[in-house]
Amino acid sequence: MPRNPKSTKPAGSPPAPGPDRQKHAGSDTLSVRQVEEKWGVRFPFPLAAPSSVLRAGLAENSVFLADYFPEIAILFFETEACLAYTEEDMPPSLADLPCTWHVHMPLDLPWQAGFETVWRKIDGLVDKLAPVSPRVYVLHPPTAPDMLLPLADRLRDKGVDPARFLIENVGQCNLTRVWDEVVEGGYSACLDIGHIQAYGQRDILQLPGLWDRVRMLHIYGAERDMRHWPLRELDPVGQVLLRAMLDRASDFTVTIELFRKEELFDSLDLLGRWFADWSEKK
């Protein structure tokens, strides 16, 4: 995730379904299934797209993306803005779209304000998301110490398995600092290849039991200049790493974490071509 993303507070209602959804798509905009057919491959994992690729709100992005991706990552960038979402921002009809959902929890959760404060925010956000029944929640590690274990207890009390919360490696924390808490609390993990590359975090790949806990990969070409770059920017060393990570991805989600429509679909197509090349070389 970018460190200082713009707000994703939606505006307006989603467009009508059907042909109107296609108005955003160019002639080279292919769905996951179409990319598989084009390159003669079958991705052994579900692919997800982030809910912020059009200059529009969550609802319109979701209606558009559901035609192309089997899963959508709801991006909750800002805590207070997302807690204030109404049915105009997240209409009940989103639950009828032909896709599954996961959520990236806000980047600005107030960890420094103390556990009770941050729990009230997380509790409210989980309730806000209930209508779409997200499979999992991606969470950046707390910026204050000793928060993950009490959070796991509260989640269990609420009836949410902490394994559905995926702790992500970020620039400020490569997971080694909190790994014991991740394991003890029963959390899962999300690995971000851009963060591994940009911040020299390959050591996390040796964490004990890591791959038993990974349930998601975030993939894109590079993180620099405060943004994510498309897969074509991934250098040869990164491509080797990506292939090694995807070889383990038969039972978890791969999110193409790009926030510009053209870059998202270009990267999806490139991933299909790479998969075809890798298959020929096996």
Give residue 280's pLDDT: 82
Distance of CA 83 to the CA centre of its chain: 19
Q: What is the dihedral of CA 103, 108, 113, 116, to 10 degrees?
A: -10
pLDDT in tens, 127-174: 999 999 999 999 999 999 999 999 999 999 999 999 999 999 999 999
Give residue 279's pLDDT: 86
Write the single-letter amino acid at 42. Answer: R
Are the CB atoms for 22 and 64 separated by under 8 Å?
no
pLDDT band for position 14 (cuts 50, 70, 90): very low
Domains and CATH numbers, the chain: 24-281 (3.20.20.150)
Section 225-233 average pLDDT: 94
Give residue 99's pLDDT: 98
Kindly report the backbone phi and psi dihedral angles of residue 180, in degrees, each rounded to the nearest multiple of 5, phi listed first: -60, -40
Section 67-71 average pLDDT: 98
Flag whether pLDDT at 281 surpasses 90: no
Query: Between residues 10 and 125, which one has the greater pLDDT?
Result: 125
Section 60-65 average pLDDT: 98
